């Protein structure tokens, strides 16, 4: 479930797909737990590669699910008008075309 921009913990990025930095304290807390949890998991693993990879995958999936739940709806955006950039090779005047 995505939230409106004024209630979302993670706003949508202005350019591209995904989320930007948190805009509410709850989002900052989630990001802090994620960033602090990575070295903690590495210390607990004690050189067990399989555990480290599984732990990183679980942390990343958890962050993604929280962003989907408490963030703005992810979609492709390109600036304020949300239109993708025009392709210069197919636009009205391609770069190497004769007028």
pLDDT band of residue 96 (cuts 50, 70, 90) is: low
pTM of this structure: 0.70
* Mean pLDDT of the region 62-72: 92
pLDDT digits (tens, 9 = 90+) for 19-50: 888 999 999 999 999 999 998 888 887 778 88
* Kind plus residue range of the DSSP H or E element containing 79: none
Q: Are 77 and 12 in contact (CB under 8 A)?
A: yes
Q: How does the average pLDDT of the chain come out, rounded? A: 80
CA distance 67 to 23: 12
Cβ-based neighbour number of residue 51 at 10 Å = 14
pLDDT score of 89 more than 90: no
Task: Give yes or no for a contact between 68 and 8, defined as CB atoms under 8 angstroms apart.
Answer: no
Q: Please count the other Cβ atoms lying within 10 Å of the Cβ belonging to residue 22.
A: 20
């Amino acid at each position: 479930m995505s939230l409106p921009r004024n209630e979302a913990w993670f706003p949508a990025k202005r350019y591209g797909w995904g989320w930007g930095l948190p805009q509410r304290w709850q989002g900052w807390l989630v990001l802090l737990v994620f960033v602090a949890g990575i070295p903690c998991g590495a210390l607990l693993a004690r050189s067990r590669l399989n555990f480290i990879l599984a732990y990183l995958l679980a942390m990343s999936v958890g962050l993604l699910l929280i962003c989907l739940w408490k963030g703005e709806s992810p979609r492709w955006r390109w600036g304020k008008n949300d239109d993708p950039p025009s392709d210069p090779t197919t636009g009205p005047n391609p770069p190497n075309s004769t007028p």
